[in-house]
A and B are shown apart, each in its own frame.
Chain A
Amino acid sequence: MANVISDETMEYVGILAKLELSDEEKEAAKKDMESMLDYIDKLNELDTSNVEPMSHVFPVKNVFREDVVENGDGGEETLANAPERRDRAFVVPMTVEG
């Protein structure tokens, strides 16, 4: 394998994804990521300098909505998923400003 994921990278990716992994899980994830990067290297061998970047797999464009209100009060349905609620709001652990 050509690509090596360092412990620091693993740690950083874990922070970004808000994941706490055990040492075994970290090693397994490292291996997965390394093989993914190897695969990308394989793809990079192809000369794509004359190919337009593709942003979407379907040849579809301009799907729009008109600016008309169609939804009513969705509050109860939305709050049905709340582990904890107060009146009409979700309650979450205090988030520190910033």
Chain B
Amino acid sequence: MTKEYETVIGLEVHVELATKTKIFCACSTAFGSAPNTHTCPVCTGMPGSLPVLNKKVVEYAMAVGVATNCEINQYSKFDRKNYFYPDNPQNYQISQLYLPICHDGGVEIETAAGKKTVGIHEIHMEEDAGKLVHDDWEDVSLVDYNRSGVPLIEIVSEPDMRSADEVIAYLEKLRMIIQYLGASDCKMQEGSMRADVNLSVREKGAEQFGTRTEMKNIGSFKAIARAIEAETARQIDIIESGEKVVQETRRWNDEQGYSYAMRSKEDAQDYRYFPEPDLVPIVISDEWLQQIKDNQPELRDEKLARYESEFGLPEYDAQILTSEKKLADLFEATTKLCEKPKKVSNWLMGETMRLLKEHEMDAADLKFSPANLAKLIEMTEAGTINGSVAKEVFEQIFASDVDPESYVEEHGLKSDNDEDALRATIEQIVKDNPQSVEDYHNGKEKAIGFLVGQTMKATKGKANPGIVNKILKEIL
């Protein structure tokens, strides 16, 4: 008989903050510039340079702490974490060990297993490292310090999660809170949100935790789920065969579907932290903290409730629209213009989501303006264009934010509402398809669908299907 095991998971989540400048210098955080463009003596660790803390970083960190029910340390300071690696020109990372800015919070998550709270041990501020690109051909690595000194917060959870489902729910929750605060765009694919997974297994009902391993920098929700499954199975195998799990850092290879231990000698996890002498303590007054609390925007859960009560949307719609801040923003702005919340919701949940999936894009990448979607909805409602044309026009709005009015005008897509001309077309189609007419009279309701289809084809899709149906039934 096999024993039953329980997986115990805690996460360290790194989030790049949406500041304009780096954490300790006035270099830009802009993405995608030529290597080393945004560098200066501070973020490249030149001797004699002095870091000065970006106030916005402290405010974002406080806002995230407040939104995740943390206590704020009103006396906080930085420490040095020492390690050697070419991505880190100072040979130390400025981080917070002893007095992190936030501690002892938690967020509520919901999965098929029910609701639970995942505790947050602490949130601290630190700087990101540079980027290494490996050239296997020349056997060298290329170093770009544009990311060096970009502000991060690290959110350290308690070991409160028991399944991949719970981990994903927790990450989604954090992502939404942080996006709504505007503190980060939290794009996992681009690395602005990254998770390290601490995992151990134990026999169900055991009091003590098992020995844990850490898997670093896993790049997507799907990869995290796969890594958790594989690591759980690996640890159970070790325990079942009577051996002991070794505490170590492992790297997950998502393409190959396995993890391997990082060599411990070179990666000795002994960072010899000490207080950062170049930065002074941060003292947060009651007034400053209150100001942050007063300025917290409407978060997801509040928005969700409001969409149901204020706009009368079904819970399902409200869930999807609020799942991405960008979608919620588009929904609110478009609804303000055309005052048809359910129609707006349908476009966002239907066609928008379909096209996002088709183009493998994130909602955050949506570029179209609320005005153009509002116009499209008005035109469809007024019968200026029919449903299938509207979808075609929407693809253009989605791709390049075209003005639907001029697009429809230019491409001659207006609905054919001239009933006399339409009636003549339909009469011809009825004449040409006696078999369908006979089927219809013999009770085959479906036959009318074929005739409608033929009519739409003849009018190049511009006829109003409702009117076509009506005329057809009259003729038949």
In the complex the two chains form, what is the Cα distance from A63 to B53 in whole Å? 7
Chain B's closest residue to A79 (CB) is: B36
Q: Are B36 and A16 in contact (CB under 8 A)?
A: no
Q: Are A69 and B283 in contact (CB under 8 A)?
A: no
Q: Are A88 and B26 in contact (CB under 8 A)?
A: no
Contacts of A68 in B (CB 8 A): 20-21, 26
In the complex the two chains form, what is the Cα distance from A87 to B144 in whole Å? 11
The answer, among A56, A70, A90, for a CB contact under 8 Å with B143, is A90
The answer, among A61, A86, A94, for a CB contact under 8 Å with B134, is A94
Binds A, one of B272-280, B402-410, B416-424: B272-280
What 0/1 readout, one digit per residue, does chain B (120-163) give for beta carbons within 8 Å of chain A? 00000000000011111001111111000000000000000000
Q: Does A92 contact B (CB under 8 A)?
A: yes
Q: Are B262 and A98 in contact (CB under 8 A)?
A: yes
| Shortest Cβ distance from residue B313 to the other chain A in the assembled complex, whole angstroms | 36
Q: Does B117 contact A (CB under 8 A)?
A: no
Contacts of B133 in A (CB 8 A): 89
The answer, among A18, A56, A67, A93, for a CB contact under 8 Å with B55, is A67
Contacts of B143 in A (CB 8 A): 89-92
Q: Are A65 and B21 in contact (CB under 8 A)?
A: yes
Contacts of B53 in A (CB 8 A): 63-65
Q: Are B56 and A67 in contact (CB under 8 A)?
A: yes
| Shortest Cβ distance from residue A11 to the other chain B in the assembled complex, whole angstroms | 11
| Shortest Cβ distance from residue B149 to the other chain A in the assembled complex, whole angstroms | 11
Q: Are A71 and B280 in contact (CB under 8 A)?
A: no
Which positions 5-38 of chain A face chain B at CB distance < 8 Å? 12, 15-16, 18
In the complex the two chains form, what is the Cα distance from A77 to B132 in whole Å? 20
Contacts of A60 in B (CB 8 A): 280
Contacts of B275 in A (CB 8 A): 55-56
Q: Are B52 and A89 in contact (CB under 8 A)?
A: no
Secondary structure call for the B interface: loop
Q: Are B85 and A95 in contact (CB under 8 A)?
A: yes
Contacts of B134 in A (CB 8 A): 94-95, 97
Q: Are B27 and A74 in contact (CB under 8 A)?
A: yes
Q: Does A45 contact B (CB under 8 A)?
A: no
Chain A's closest residue to B280 (CB) is: A60
In the complex the two chains form, what is the Cα distance from A88 to B39 in whole Å? 12
Report the interface size for chain B: residues with CB under 8 A from the other chain: 55
Known A-B contacts A55-B275, A58-B280, A78-B39; the reply to A95 vs B86 at CB < 8 A is: yes
Known A-B contacts A67-B54, A89-B143; the reply to A56 vs B277 at CB < 8 A is: yes
| Shortest Cβ distance from residue A72 to the other chain B in the assembled complex, whole angstroms | 9
Chain A's closest residue to B151 (CB) is: A67
| Shortest Cβ distance from residue B213 to the other chain A in the assembled complex, whole angstroms | 14
In the complex the two chains form, what is the Cα distance from A74 to B282 in whole Å? 29
Q: Are A88 and B35 in contact (CB under 8 A)?
A: yes
Q: Are A62 and B34 in contact (CB under 8 A)?
A: no
Q: Does B5 contact A (CB under 8 A)?
A: no
Q: Are B282 and A67 in contact (CB under 8 A)?
A: no
Known A-B contacts A71-B27, A89-B36, A94-B134; the reply to A62 vs B282 at CB < 8 A is: yes
Q: Are A18 and B84 in contact (CB under 8 A)?
A: yes
The answer, among B28, B140, B142, for a CB contact under 8 Å with A69, is B28
In the complex the two chains form, what is the Cα distance from A32 to B42 in whole Å? 32
Q: Are B283 and A62 in contact (CB under 8 A)?
A: yes
The answer, among A63, A88, A97, for a CB contact under 8 Å with B36, is A88
In the complex the two chains form, what is the Cα distance from A69 to B279 in whole Å? 20
Q: A70-B26, A75-B34 are in contact. List 15 more A-B contacts (CB 8 A).
A: A16-B270, A56-B281, A61-B281, A62-B283, A63-B279, A66-B54, A68-B21, A78-B40, A78-B44, A86-B142, A87-B35, A88-B36, A90-B144, A91-B142, A97-B251
Name 25 A/B residue pairs within 8 A (Cβ), A-sorted: A12-B268, A16-B82, A55-B281, A56-B281, A62-B283, A64-B52, A64-B55, A64-B58, A67-B19, A69-B26, A71-B25, A71-B40, A74-B36, A74-B37, A74-B38, A74-B39, A86-B142, A89-B36, A92-B86, A93-B139, A93-B141, A95-B85, A95-B86, A95-B134, A98-B262
Residue numbers of B with Cβ under 8 A of A are 19-21, 25-28, 34-40, 44, 52-56, 58, 77, 82, 84-86, 99, 132-136, 139-145, 216, 251, 262-263, 265, 267-268, 270, 272, 275, 277, 279-283
List the 9 closest pairs (A to B, CB-CB), nearest first.
A70-B26, A64-B55, A67-B56, A89-B142, A90-B143, A88-B35, A98-B262, A78-B39, A89-B35
